[in-house]
Structure formats: structure tokens, C-alpha cells
Amino acid sequence: MRHRYILRPKPCQSHARPGLRRRTCPPTVLLAGLLCAVLSGCAGTLAPVTAPDPQGDVAGMPAMREFGSPRPIPPARANADMAIDFIDLTMELESGAPLPVFTRFDEPVTVALAGAATPVFDTELDRLVTRLRREAGIDIRRTDAAGAITVEAVRRADLDRVVPQAACFVLPLATSWTVFQADTRAAGLNWADLTSRQAATIFIPADISAQEIRDCLHEEIAQALGPVNDLFRLEDSIFNDDNMHSVLTGFDMLMLRVAYDPALANGMARETVAARLPAILARLNPAGESVPARGIAPTPPEWQRATVFALSPNQPVLRRRQASLRALSVAQDEGWQDVRLGLSLLTAGRLSTGRDAGFALEAFFKAGQVYGARPATAVHAAQVGIQVAAFALVAEDFDTVLRLTDRHIPAARRAENGALLGDLLMVRAAALDALGRSEVAAEIRGDGFGWARYGLRSDAEVLRRAAEIAALLPPEQEGS
């Protein structure tokens, strides 16, 4: 049986059922592993470095930072290419199953909060609704009554018990957590049965980080409104299983604006939607008419299977590394120069850090070149940059650390990735400390702690991350 509702799997989990939304392990969690890889001298494998258990006055930590006005990058691709993307995103499920007709909500769309929602839900939902109204042109508003879309906050332990592979998920009907957990295979959960969208319910844990709550709100509300598929080929979208973009992008907002254009309607067949897209996109995105089409290179099933396996952390590491190398070989044979090659290189590098540090570093360099080629993939390049900066910190190449962090901090900030931004700032502070610039380092480290508090789940986790980064410095540099 195909999975009938859309899940946003939790980070670092594997997923056996078709149709699940996969989450990769965030590259920023690998800094301590990079230390052991560098010290191994590219020969053999050392035991993983264990960061000291953090102790300290948590109450004295800087306040959690919050992002201000969004600055999404407008889509810079050809309308002809994005028309194909729209069809693949809205007329197919992630399992590959086609949807018989196009569906969307009738406007106005109302959104309600339910359950044990914390103030973070209110703040981030208000920001998202404002963006959807302004950038996607959707008549969407919050309500205290029953909404067309309901976001219910639940305990993470309860969600893990019922749907252990999900970080959060959306159902295409009105329900409650109590009803759903009593029958997780109830009727009405199949998106392919819809002829229009009347209701949706989203379940998000209340006891996770502010960034994770925000990410879930962005992706699940967007999925409730429009696209129900993910595509590995997309460089500029939240609808990609590489999970590099965690908030809705300029491309995503364009796709939602297209979905709610008056020229489309519920019940339209795929062919009818495709025939109307060129005129819709020309009207909504005239700049895309003059951009040459790159063409859509298909994704071979072999690459996708190998990549999904390589990103499944409960599988044996050696087999995952072998899968990552198979995926990299396919990407190279296909001659790709897009995000699929970048992801293949990054994944192979991450899985090689403890076995072949030289290969890992070379893979990171190549991934950085791929991701650094276009503005839309600046945050991808930043995810690679933190890996290389960690190598440089271990090697005491502090000027390179400063150069890399100076380059990538703006991208992490613009992408609103607090966890990545916190790591970059703390790595930069460590390099400044080593260079004797302690006052500047303290200020930057404090800023990093503030962003880490947004991106990570607890103050203890923030302190643990700081300890891991401090452990990258040679002993004589610590506390300099």
C-alpha cells in the first residue's frame, strides 16, 4: 500500500515506506567527526571524538535571536523549465504516482492553531501568512475559529510513538490528533482521491526548536496549499529532499502564485494545466521569458535509490558510503553540474571523513564549486563551507577559516538557517580567539549562541555544540 499522506521525516532517520519526505543529517553536526578524520592522517579510522559534557551558567547565555524581514532570491530560471517543475510538483506524489486532477483551496483560506502551541507558533505563523499574502498573492488569513487548515501542536513523544519516522506531517482532511492516532489508516487520507481541497490538518511537535517549528510550518502549509511532491533536481526550492532550503523561496512563492492563478481551477486534467502554464508564467514572471531553458535532465532511479540509502543513517556506515559512491558515479556519468552532483559529492565526502580524509576534503571542494556557481545555491555552498572551515580550524589555517565564514555567513543569514549561522559564527570566533582577538571573538561567539538557541532544541545542546567546535582547536590554542 502506498503511503497516503505527506510526512516531513525527522532529521537523520531512514524511511522504508514510499512517498515519505526524507530529511538528511544536517552537515553542521559533523564537526567533531571531521576532527577525527583530519587527525587520522587519511589512513585508518579513529574512534569518534566525544565532546566534553557542557557545564556552565545556562541562564547567562545570550537571548535567542530571531530573523527579521525575509529577503528571498527571485527565481532566475526559464519559465519553460519552471512549467515542467510545476507539473511534476503538483500532479505527482513523491512515490511517483500521478494525481488524476489538479486541486487547490478556494479562497479565502483560513489557518487555525490548536493543541499545545507555544508562542513560537504564533510568531512564525504570522510571519508565514504575511509572506504568503504578499509574495504568493494567496488570500490567506488566521482565524480563532475552525480553519480550512488546522495546525495542531502535539508532544514530540506522542508523535514519535504513532508515526516514528515523521518530524511533522499534513493530512488532506479535518481531524484531530486524538482521532488520527486512533486510526492512522482511516479513509480520506489519500491525496489522489481529491477533486478539490476542502481541509487539511498539520501535526507539529511543540517541544522542538524554534527553527524546526518554523520549517514545519513553511513546508507543511505550502504542501497543504499546493505542491505535494519533492524533486531532487530543484536548486531553489524547499521542495527538495536535500533539505538545503528550510523556508519558502522565491521559486516556491511563484509556484504557489501559479497554483492560485484564476486561469487554473479544481478538477483540471494534467494536460489542461500544462497547456495554460506558459501564459500564466509569462504574465506572473516576465523575466523568465528571456532566460534560456536549461532543459530537465531526468533523474535515474539508480541514483535516487543510492542517494536515499546513503542518507539513511540507521544503515551500516560502510554500505552507506558505498551507496554514496555509486550515486556519485552516476552523477558524474550523467555529466550533471547541478545540485544533484553537489549532493552526491557532499554526501560522499561526509561518509568518507573517518576513512579517507583526503577524498572527503576533495569532495567538499568540488561540491563547493558546484554549489558556488549560482546565487540560488549559496546556502548549499555554506553547508559545504562549514565542513571545510572545520578542516582549516584543525589545521590552524585561521585565515582560511575567517575567509570562509566571511563568505558564507551572509548566505546562512539570508536563508534564515539559525543552526548553520550559529555554527559559522562559533567557528569564526574560535579562529579569532586563536589569533589573539579575544574581544571580537567573544562578541561573535555570543551572537552565535543566540542563533544556535533558535536553531537547536535546548541550551544544553547549544553548549554541547560549542564544546565540539572548541575541540577542533589544538590543545595549545584552546582558551588563547
How high is the pLDDT of residue 112?
98
What are the residues whose beta carbons fall under 8 Å from the beta carbon of 2, sequence distance 6 or more? 18, 19, 93, 95, 97
SS3 320: helix
Mean pLDDT of 210-236: 97
How high is the pLDDT of residue 51?
34
pLDDT above 80 for 185: yes
What are the residues whose beta carbons fall under 8 Å from the beta carbon of 286, sequence distance 6 or more? none
pLDDT above 80 for 31: no
> What whole-number distance in Å separates Cα of residue 210 and Cα of residue 208?
7
DSSP result, 93-125 = -TTSPBPSS---BPSSEEEEEEES--HHHHHHH
> What whole-number distance in Å separates Cα of residue 315 and Cα of residue 13?
10
How high is the pLDDT of residue 312?
85
pLDDT (tens digit, 9 = 90+) per residue, 432-476? 999 999 999 999 999 999 999 999 999 999 999 999 999 998 776
Q: Which class for 359: exposed (0-12), middle (13-18), buried (19 or more C-beta within 10 A)?
A: middle
What are the residues whose beta carbons fall under 8 Å from the beta carbon of 29, sequence distance 6 or more? 12
Q: How confident is the model at residue 478 (pLDDT cuts 50, 70, 90)?
A: low
What percentage of the chain carries pLDDT values higher than 70?
87
φ, ψ of residue 16 in degrees (nearest 5): -90, -30
How high is the pLDDT of residue 58?
60
> What whole-number distance in Å separates Cα of residue 4 and Cα of residue 404?
43
How high is the pLDDT of residue 476?
65
Q: How confident is the model at residue 5 (pLDDT cuts 50, 70, 90)?
A: low
Cell numbers placing 154: 502535539
Torsion 4-238-424-39 (CA) sign: positive
Range picked from 1-5, 56-60, 442-446 for highest mean pLDDT:
442-446
φ, ψ of residue 50 in degrees (nearest 5): -105, 115
How high is the pLDDT of residue 314?
76
Q: Which residue bears the cell 505535494?
A: 228
Torsion 10-16-17-19 (CA) sign: positive
Which uninterrupted H or E stretch holds 169? Answer: strand 166-171
How high is the pLDDT of residue 1?
28
pTM of the model: 0.89
Query: Which of 49-53, 148-152, 466-470 comes out lowest in average pLDDT?
Result: 49-53
Mean pLDDT of 182-211: 94
Mean pLDDT of 272-292: 98
109-115: strand order across its sheet: 6-9, 166-171, 200-205, 149-154, 109-115, 140-142
How high is the pLDDT of residue 241?
87
pLDDT (tens digit, 9 = 90+) per residue, 379-394? 999 999 999 999 999 9
Cell numbers placing 377: 545555491
- Please check whether residue 416 is in contact with residue 70, taking contact to mean a CB–CB distance below 8 angstroms: yes
pLDDT above 80 for 124: yes
How high is the pLDDT of residue 9?
56
Q: How confident is the model at residue 6 (pLDDT cuts 50, 70, 90)?
A: low
Domains of the chain: 105-225 (3.40.390)
Widest pairwise Cα distance in the chain: 68
pLDDT above 80 for 54: no
Query: Which of 46-50, 163-167, 228-232, 267-271 comes out lowest in average pLDDT?
Result: 46-50
Cell numbers placing 144: 480563532
Q: Which residue bears the cell 532543459?
A: 295
pLDDT above 90 for 53: no
Q: Tell me the CA distances in angstroms from 10 to 161, 163, 171, 310, 337, one per residue in order.
A: 13, 10, 17, 16, 29
How high is the pLDDT of residue 103?
98
Cell numbers placing 362: 576533495
Mean residue pLDDT across the chain? 88
pLDDT above 60 for 347: yes
